Amino acid sequence: MLDMKNVEKVLACKIIDRPGRYIADDIVSYKCKGDVAKEDIFAVWYKGHLVCVEVVDIIPAWAYSESRKGLGDIDTMSYVISKVDIKKHSIEKLARSKIRDLRAAMKERRAKALDAKDMDDFIKSLKKDDAKDFNEALAYIAELEANPDAVEDCEW
């Protein structure tokens, strides 16, 4: 069997909106030298626009016949720009989202910890009676956060 890795190939492709969803049934053709398989997605120039195409058929250039396959003249055919890995892209997007969420949660927890530390230092600097009143206010705030209905029984 022939090694097809670095052999120039003609790719019969369909323009896609997303994997498996074709914009039209028209077949467009491009050349490629790399490793390629059916259903691979490539970025290409098509009528002055950058679009994605999905490979529906692969023909080695040495076996391509313009009259038989009807995909156009191989000498004027453009090359694909690059392979698009949709699955890898979606995994990387999910990872970036998780990282952003974790960093936001860490910032919130750090801010709460610093706020609690600053509050403790502030209370320690107060006089005994003022510190007692302040601690009672903090306890009442915590109670309201846990049970907002308790606001009607407010003594403050």
Q: Domain containing 129: what range?
A: 91-147
Q: How confident is the model at residue 155 (pLDDT cuts 50, 70, 90)?
A: low
Boundary residue ending a domain (60, 84, 108): 84
Q: Quote the DSSP letter at residue 71.
A: S
Cα separation, 12 vs 26, in Å, equals 10
Q: What is the pLDDT of residues 109-144, one digit of tens each?
A: 999 889 888 888 888 888 888 888 888 888 888 888
Q: Which position has the higher pLDDT, 7 or 155?
A: 7
The overall pTM is greater than 0.75: no
Q: How confident is the model at residue 7 (pLDDT cuts 50, 70, 90)?
A: confident
Boundary residue ending a domain (84, 105, 124): 84
- Do 38 and 66 belong together in one domain? yes
CB 55 within 8 A of CB 40: yes
Cα separation, 2 vs 61, in Å, equals 13
- Do 125 and 101 belong together in one domain? yes
In a domain, residue 153? The reply is: no
- Do 79 and 19 belong together in one domain? yes
In a domain, residue 155? The reply is: no
- Do 46 and 100 belong together in one domain? no
Mean per-residue pLDDT, 70-79: 79
First vs last C-alpha separation in the chain? 88
Please report, to the nearest 10 degrees, the dihedral formed by the alpha carbons of residues 9, 80, 76, 71 taken in order: 60
- Do 131 and 79 belong together in one domain? no
- Do 64 and 115 belong together in one domain? no
The residue among 62, 65, 74 whose CA lies nearest residue 29 is: 74
Number of domains within the chain:
2
- Do 70 and 111 belong together in one domain? no
CB 12 within 8 A of CB 59: yes
The tokens 């801010």 sit on which residue?
111
- Do 102 and 143 belong together in one domain? yes
Cα separation, 142 vs 144, in Å, equals 5
